[in-house]
Amino acid sequence: MKKYQLGEFEEIVILTIGILYKEAYGVAIKSEIETRLSRNVSMGALHTALVRLEDKGYIKSSEGESTEDRMGRPRRYYQITALGKKAMEHSKETRNALWKAIPKVALDVKLVSS
């Protein structure tokens, strides 16, 4: 596996954690992604991505306070680590380099009517 590798959904999740900052917990992350990207997200897929990102050292989690509305269970909050920030920067730089490498003519396409 390459250094700083992020899958597409992992990248979306870690960027959303950055957007939410101190309010980045499961349901909030799911809601933010669905709102911003008009994309349905299952809690299972989100949980899997969060575990992968934490295993890679890109994010860390901590428990918040217990609440009655969660039947005493605390929320798990996520934040980006220094390694996660490097992975995000690498992903952004890689994408920008690829975009810059595309010849302008390659994107000068016209719609073909049928």
- At the topology level of CATH, where does 8-101 sit? Arc Repressor Mutant, subunit A (1.10.10)
Tell me the percentage of the chain whose pLDDT exceeds 70.
94
The partner residues of 60 in beta bridges, in order of sequence, read 79
pLDDT per residue over 17-50, tens digit each?
999 999 999 999 999 999 999 999 999 999 999 9
Structure tokens belonging to residue 2: 């390459």
DSSP string of 73-103, one letter each residue: PEEEEEEE-HHHHHHHHHHHHHHHHHHHHS-
Which amino acid is residue 34, in one-letter code? E
DSSP structure class, residue 58: S
Per domain, the residue ranges of the chain are 8-101
